[in-house]
Structures are given as C-alpha cells and as structure tokens.
Amino acid sequence: MTIWIIDDDFIFVKIFAAQIQKIGLEVKISTFKNGKLAWDSLDKVCGSQDSSTMPDLLFLDLNMPVFNGWEFLERCKEKWETEDNSILKKLKLYVVSSSQDSQDIARAKAFEFVSAFFTKPLNIDAVRMILEKG
C-alpha cells in the first residue's frame, strides 16, 4: 500500500510514520513538505496514466507554504471535473489539520474526493482503521 503525507510539520510526519510502523502493515510512505511539491507529483502520475503509481491514500494538511491545502484541493478538483478518464477518479484523500474551525471542515468535506476530516493529533486507532479500510 502506498500513502502520501503532505505536511510541512516534519515532527507530525515523523509521528505519523512511527504510528504506521507500530500498526505493522506494509506501507510505502512518500512525504511532501508543501502542496506544490505534492501537486507536481500527482500531476505527473495522472499524466502517466499508470494507475499503479497512484497512491492508495493521501493525508493532506491545510496550512502550508507555497501551495496550502486548499490550493492543492482546488487543483485536484479542476482535474477531477475536466478529465473523465483520469486515474485521479481513484483518489482517496483525508484532510488532517490542527484546525477545529467548522467552516474549514465544511469546506473540506465539500470536495467529492475528500473522505474525511481529521483534527490533529491522529490517534493510533484511527490510523489503523483508515489503513485497514484501505
């Protein structure tokens, strides 16, 4: 299983990785420290039409430099809506933010491909559940 963690907080990424390790599943983790880097990679994956390179799960932070989480989501949405056969339709994405703002939560959930909104910290059981669900 391949997962992408898009977050500029390297400590959070480390904790997240440690939690996954604890669960003991075999997971390949790629990390991106801002939305722009993640988007560039995702765009490349979409361009290649090779669905095997498509990550199984994406964990996206909101507050990041360069492209924040919202900008990343907007770009995904644009591609999702304009390209019918895109492998992007397989996209499964969780927003993980320290925000508890109900406006942020509603806004995130309005994106079709956003499966859920988690407020940090992610506890280990939640991580296990998400990964097992696939």
**Residues in contact with another protein by the rule CB under 8 A:** 9-12, 14-16, 18-19, 22, 33-34, 36-37, 63-66, 71, 98-101, 119-124
- DSSP 3-state of 134: coil
What is the nearest approach in angstroms of another protein to the Cβ of residue 91?
Answer: 23
Residue 52 or residue 103: which is nearer to another protein going by CB? Answer: 103
**Residue 102: DSSP 8-state:** H
Residue 43 or residue 89: which is nearer to another protein going by CB? Answer: 43
Residue 66 or residue 106: which is nearer to another protein going by CB? Answer: 66
Within 8 A by CB and 6+ apart from 84, the residues are none
What is the nearest approach in angstroms of another protein to the Cβ of residue 54?
Answer: 25
Cβ atoms of 19 and 127 closer than 8 Å = yes
Residue 47 or residue 121: which is nearer to another protein going by CB? Answer: 121
* Single-letter amino acid, residue 48: S
What is the nearest approach in angstroms of another protein to the Cβ of residue 2?
Answer: 22
Q: Name the nearest CA neighbour of 112 among 86, 71, 84, 74.
A: 74
> Alpha carbon of 96 to those of 4, 46, 107, 127: distances in Å?
12, 23, 13, 11
What is the nearest approach in angstroms of another protein to the Cβ of residue 44?
Answer: 18
